[in-house]
Amino acid sequence: MKDKEKVKETIINAATELIEQSGGEVKNITARAIADKSGVALGLINYHFESKENLIAICVQRIVNKVLMNFAPDKKDYTEPDGLTDKQRLISFAQQTFDFLFDNYAIIKISILSDFKDYKPICNSVYTQMGFRLALKGNIPENKKQLIAFSLTSTMQAAFLSGENSKQITGYNLFEKSERDLFISDTVSMLMEGVYE
């Protein structure tokens, strides 16, 4: 690894450690604290990342990606029969995912907004969609599976970003688990309606 890349990784690792120590409350992490922790000059943060915010976004994406790669709703073996319909399985996956989002609100918000700035096939939002497609085992054309997973992920993200206004915007208070579960159940039901016709 070249020296420039080593310095960047050192800064990313230091910032990531500070984010994890703060429980995702990134607003209190200063560029000075990141520079001190990484042992580099303060100016190198702007030189390599243009801003503290860009650096934080990169770190959060890595944190969330690592969690998503290890997060598997229900079980690891998706080929094993589970007795659920695609709709029941997708509701279960989505409810568990939504709980994870709300349990990690601060860093997930950064991750979603970062994906929206540069939405591409290797972002956390797309990885979430890929996970939802695993729930759809039935005889559904692949393009419909993709559309259902994309629509569900996008709906969940928009609802998540509504924050404290969720009741006014969605009709559900998403900070209450029972209403969050109902939101997912209703959304999946609408998305799955007529899919086997």
Mean pLDDT of 1-9: 84
What mean pLDDT is reported for the chain?
87
- Are residue 80 and residue 150 in the same domain, yes or no? yes
State residue 44 phi and psi, 5-degree precision.
-70, -25
pLDDT score recorded for residue 108: 86
pLDDT score recorded for residue 79: 61
Confirm whether 65 is domain-assigned: no
pLDDT score recorded for residue 2: 72
- Are residue 25 and residue 77 in the same domain, yes or no? no
Mean pLDDT of 27-52: 91
pTM of the model: 0.76
- At residue 71, does pLDDT exceed 70? no
- At residue 188, does pLDDT exceed 70? yes
CATH number at residue 36: 1.10.10
Confirm whether 197 is domain-assigned: no
- pLDDT tens-digit map of 157-172: 999 999 999 999 999 9
- Are residue 36 and residue 89 in the same domain, yes or no? no
Q: Read off the amino acid at residue 141.
A: P
| Cα 44 from Cα 142, distance rounded (Å) | 46
- pLDDT tens-digit map of 76-128: 555 666 788 999 999 999 999 999 889 888 888 888 988 898 888 888 899 89
- Residue-number span of the structural domain to which 155 is assigned: 71-192
- Are residue 175 and residue 148 in the same domain, yes or no? yes
- Are residue 178 and residue 89 in the same domain, yes or no? yes
Count of domains in the chain?
2
Confirm whether 64 is domain-assigned: no
